[in-house]
């Protein structure tokens, strides 16, 4: 299948990649050459993991891990390329979706996998933004690790706020375009869709508009950590086969409920993915992580994931209906395309949004009521804002009860 490449004519990968990264000869590890046989090439311990050597009595927990095969082969280094995991991730995003029938399939050559999305964020900055010289652009309110990683790498952050006056806090694509036209030193644009903390999707048209900027040379990074809580077909990951200047980050932490294994994913053109893979540590994904990822991405794992998403979406609808009935709850600030909601707290019933009241509610819930949510009242456009993750039916019942009880106490004091 032949597909037109829609990348901006100004995009030049070599020009925006740090010269030392372009010249980098990636470390070649033992498992790059051979993976089977009598393996005496990597200085591994041939007697096996110490947690279940024959001389040590196994605890019940370790015995169950051994019998499940989960920790088999831990004395050997993991696969440095994770081809099996990558193929299943491609299968997931290659599923037919509305409006994307002309997209060529993703392959493992389109993927870089990291230790959570945070490693993906950092690796992208290290490859395409030179310390003390280049810049990146973000659109607050947004995920805080973009700016933290930029600061660690000595990369200046340019901000273009979301539309703080419009419902859902949408992206101002025209303002982003203007900023890119003014400053050629901006090499990266980080956008979150659905947004964190806004829970709003960015429309595909706006993303494609920025990608096709006629004069700007840089890469657009779309963070889709929460994409599976959005309508089916919302992911723009398949578009990396059309736009060479697009990276789409995803994770197994949210919809898959696998935050503890730390697996982040970056979809990109083969040329961009190759650069990212050249920079990574040789064995950055552990055997435990890849084994569990394969289980999560199997047919039974995907079935469980979709079942859990349905439950979360059902509970999200419940919170959307029940929270506004509580005196002192204001508007939902963002959208509802994620597994959390961003809601305003008022200074009094039928009052105005109040960050001090929201902070007091947040602290009281955590310290006295055993309910922990997230205060977001300091971020642009989030006055009085609390971000509430959608929990189980029982957890949400407790949440609603404790918020109503605590706000009543606050207003009466």
Residue 212 has pLDDT above 50, yes or no: yes
- Residue 392 vs residue 40, higher pLDDT: 392
For residue 67, name the pLDDT band (cuts at 50, 70, 90): low
- Write down the pLDDT at residue 160: 98
Of the two residues 370 and 98, the one the predictor is more confident about is 370
Q: Domain segments of the chain: what residues? A: 13-34+77-297, 43-74, 303-412
pLDDT, average across residues 351-355: 97
Write out the chain in H/E/C secondary structure. CCCCCCCCCCCCHHHHCCHHHHCCCCCCCHHHCCCCCCCCCCCCCCCCCHHHCCCCCCCHHHHHHHHHCCCCCCCCCCCCCCHHHHHHHHHHHHCCCCCCCCCCCCCHHHEEEECHHHHHHHHHHHHHCCCCCCEEEECCCCCCHHHHHHHHCCCEEEECCCCCCCCCCCCCHHHHHHHHHHCCCEEEEEEECCCCCCCCCCCHHHHHHHHCCCCCCCEEEEECCCHHHCCCCCCCHHHHHCCCCEEEEEECCCCCCCHHHCCEEEECCHHHHHHHHHHCCCCCCCHHHHHHHHHHCCHHHHHHHHHHHHHHHHHHHHHHHHHHHCCCEEEECCCCCCCEEEEEEECCCCCCECHHHHHHHHHHHHHHHCCCCEECCCCCCCCCEEEEECCCHHHHHHHHHHHHHHHHHHHHC
Judged against a pLDDT cut of 50, whether residue 98 lies above it is answered with: no
CATH of domain 13-34+77-297: 3.40.640.10
Mean pLDDT of 186-215: 97
pLDDT in tens, 229-256: 999 999 999 999 999 999 999 999 999 9
> Which residues are paired to 189 by β-bridges?
137, 220
Question: What are the tens digits of pLDDT across the range 265-281?
Answer: 999 999 999 999 999 99
Percent of the chain with pLDDT over 70: 92
Residues of the chain with pLDDT > 90, as a percent, come to: 79
Q: Domain 303-412, what fold? A: 3.90.1150
What confidence category does residue 55 fall into, taking pLDDT thresholds of 50, 70 and 90?
A: very low
Q: What is the pLDDT of residue 41?
A: 74
Confidence band for 365, pLDDT divided at 50, 70 and 90: very high
Residue 69 binned pLDDT confidence (cut-offs 50, 70, 90): low
pTM score of the predicted model: 0.91
Per-residue model confidence (pLDDT) at position 142: 97
pLDDT given at position 218? 97
Q: Residue 310's pLDDT is what? A: 97
Report pLDDT for 1: 43
């Amino acid at each position: 299948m032949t597909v037109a490449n829609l990348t901006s004519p100004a995009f030049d990968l070599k020009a925006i990649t740090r010269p030392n990264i372009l010249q980098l000869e990636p470390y070649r590890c033992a498992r790059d050459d051979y993976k089977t046989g009598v393996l005496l090439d990597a200085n591994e311990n041939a007697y096996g993991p110490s947690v279940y050597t024959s001389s040590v009595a196994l605890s019940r927990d370790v015995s169950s891990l051994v019998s499940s095969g989960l920790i088999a082969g831990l004395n050997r280094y993991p696969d440095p390329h994770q081809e099996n995991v990558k193929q299943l991730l491609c299968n997931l995003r290659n599923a037919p979706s509305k409006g994307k029938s002309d997209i060529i399939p993703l392959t493992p050559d389109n993927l870089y996998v990291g230790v959570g999305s945070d490693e993906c964020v950092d690796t992208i900055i290290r490859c395409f933004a030179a310390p003390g010289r280049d810049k990146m652009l973000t659109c607050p309110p947004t995920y805080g690790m973009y700016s933290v990683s930029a600061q660690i790498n000595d990369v200046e952050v340019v901000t273009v706020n979301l539309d703080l006056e419009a419902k859902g806090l949408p992206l101002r694509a025209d303002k982003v375009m203007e900023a890119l036209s003014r400053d050629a030193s901006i090499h990266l644009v980080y956008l979150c869709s659905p947004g964190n903390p806004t829970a709003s999707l960015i429309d595909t048209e706006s993303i494609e508009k920025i990608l096709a900027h006629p004069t700007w040379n840089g890469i657009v990074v779309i963070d889709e950590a929460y994409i599976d809580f959005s309508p089916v077909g919302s992911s723009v990951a398949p578009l990396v086969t059309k736009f060479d200047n697009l990276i789409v980050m995803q994770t197994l932490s949210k919809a898959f409920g696998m935050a503890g294994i730390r697996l982040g994913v970056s979809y990109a053109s083969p040329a961009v993915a190759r650069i990212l893979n050249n920079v990574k540590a040789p064995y950055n994904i552990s055997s435990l992580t890849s084994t569990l990822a394969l289980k999560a991405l199997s047919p039974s794992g995907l079935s469980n994931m979709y079942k859990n998403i349905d439950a979360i979406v059902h509970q999200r609808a419940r919170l959307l209906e029940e929270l506004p009935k509580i005196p002192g709850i204001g508007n939902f600030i963002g959208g509802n395309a994620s597994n959390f909601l961003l809601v305003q707290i008022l200074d009094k019933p039928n009052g105005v949004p109040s960050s001090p009241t929201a902070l007091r509610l947040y602290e009281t819930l955590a310290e006295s009521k055993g309910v922990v949510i997230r205060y977001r009242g300091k971020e642009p456009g989030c006055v009085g804002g609390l971000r509430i993750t959608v929990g189980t039916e029982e957890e949400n019942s407790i949440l609603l009860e404790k918020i109503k009880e605590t706000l009543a106490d606050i207003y009466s004091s």
